[in-house]
Chains A and B, each alone.
Chain A
């Protein structure tokens, strides 16, 4: 039996599973591993979140913002030419690239910034990898009149210079992070250091389903609008649920947003796609669910890329947004239970898919998203043409033009 859910479904706080439990765990993953200084602020955030997610005023403001500012619902688009070229399953794209700021990230920043405002915090901070979450945070901070500081690895600043300039235009201060590997994980460390130092007036807007409880839950709940819409759009437009879902996984926020509302639809398969970099066997990748083991980083227990002594390893991916050694704890749980399957796609495969979608459908996808597209091609190829795959087109590729040009030795 498939229950029909309409687009305006008001369930926000996830009730599809019993997780997270009261200690913030998804099975044996998650939790709250932080210094004592952050414990009370996290407990305060947890209770504020529970309060406002039951507050009709808050929810209607959130709804209005998602509709009028973000531009939701996003379309579910049948990529006919691309599907035909592959010659297998029909691929539908959930067009998160059409959101204001060009990616799924804004669904979460709108929600968290409203929380910040309600909790009386005049200052917000964020970490960013590709810059999409930073831009989405700077955007909403500008709109709500909040002071905004974004931490970004100096390596990522180089490869995503357009987004850095966008953030600055929006009035945010962008702080280059030069410690460790100078990428997303180090930006997260630095944001946590800022938060612990300014916890009284600052709200930390985490961009992915990582961090200590309740962050993985908050981000999942705000991103679940993707899956709620996609599920309803499938039922309304196609008369049935899809056979498979595909999304890229760095921290995993766009993937969990798509997956979560389908979690009890056992006939819908779920595929998360990690960054295989130069190949999982090479060691130069960002695929903890494929090649890591459980450990503790950034406040939660999850699969990590780490050495035999428990030191976090350097990651590699062509896409800054996937260049992270951990993954949201709920994905670790979904992997262990077998409800979702996690695959890896190499830099090269992602680039091929990037080009194919651009040429065949007139949609330039983000390099992060291109990993999901590359896997969707393989999957579609193995399925009959009456099957349906929904791919989360999590972001647009304008930000990656420079990277693509450099790879092709073109000077812009």
Chain B
């Protein structure tokens, strides 16, 4: 049983779309992340993506790059990130948590030990940005053993052959990248990608979340219209970057996520 699968089934039953939020673990400090995760859930997030900081985040725009730098300046390690999830699970046993990052820090731990630690701490999924399915079999076989979902990206320029390749290993949900670009950049064109999203959903049989460049309530509603879930990252990380004590930041996050939640719930769900 997977929390991610359950989460999407429940939402579907209630005719709702998933709100998936991203923050970088350890930004600005490891001790802040758990309270911020709870604030995101209180604001209405359904799934939490927790960024594992990396020195060279090639797929990220400036906002998330800076978050990675802040976190690494305090020496946040993958073990620290897993520890954050373990602590979060003391008070929350239902919200799925997905670790998102780059392959080098992940493979620095043996795949077997990574999978075991994820299971033990309560990590539900892993998304390795620079690990396409062509290179992912070894990690995937370990994750499958412990029932941790491996989330993969599908891009607007992925032809059917690539989508099929991704779907051979993907579970949980598919992360559809809304634009050719980096996180926090240009905004998507719904007309351009809605057919690809529908095709991806059909081929995979999995829910499809849409992310990259979704910053406002309007964009979130438009994204919810053509997918099963909306990923918001840079816009939330910007609020953390603005600073303040952790209580204030947590309140800001809860309010902002609440406004996105409302926009998504209000939209006309035609998919």
Contacts and interface: CB of A to CB of B under 8 A. Distances in A.
Interface string A303-324: 0101011111000000000000
A198 B55 CA distance: 23
Interface in B39-76: 54-59, 61-62, 65, 69, 72
Given A36-B166, A310-B105, A311-B105, A299 B155 contact: no
Contacts of B152: 36
B182 interface: yes
A180 B129 contact: no
Interface string B99-123: 0001111111000000000000000
A358 interface: no
Contact of B104 (A32, A193, A306): A306
A407 interface: no
Contact of B103 (A33, A196, A198, A200): A33
Interface stretch (B157-165, B189-197, B240-248): B157-165
B130 A35 contact: yes
Contact of B130 (A34, A185, A200, A311): A34
A308 B79 CA distance: 12
A199 B54 CA distance: 24
Contact of A36 (B61, B102, B104, B158): B158
B190 to A, nearest CB: 18
B54 A36 contact: no
Contacts of A276: none
Contacts, number: 113
A109 B2 CA distance: 50
Interface of B: 54-59, 61-62, 65, 69, 72, 77-78, 102-108, 129-132, 134-135, 152-159, 162, 166, 177, 180-182, 185-186
A15 interface: no
B130 A309 contact: no
Contacts of A180: 55-56, 69
Interface of A: 23, 31-37, 39-41, 179-180, 185-186, 189, 192-193, 196-200, 295-299, 304, 306, 308-312
Given A35-B130, A35-B153, A196-B180, 17 more contacts: A33-B130, A35-B132, A35-B155, A36-B162, A37-B158, A39-B155, A39-B158, A39-B162, A40-B162, A179-B62, A180-B56, A197-B182, A295-B107, A306-B104, A310-B104, A310-B105, A311-B72
Contacts of A311: 54-55, 72, 104-105
A304 B156 CA distance: 32
A306 to B, nearest CB: 7
A311 B134 CA distance: 23
Q: Which of A36, A295, A308 has the most C-beta atoms of chain B within 10 angstroms of its own C-beta? A: A36
A200 to B, nearest CB: 7
Contacts of B102: 296
18 contacts: A33-B131, A35-B59, A36-B152, A37-B181, A39-B132, A39-B155, A40-B158, A41-B157, A180-B55, A193-B61, A200-B157, A295-B108, A296-B104, A309-B77, A309-B78, A310-B108, A311-B72, A311-B105
A37 B104 contact: no
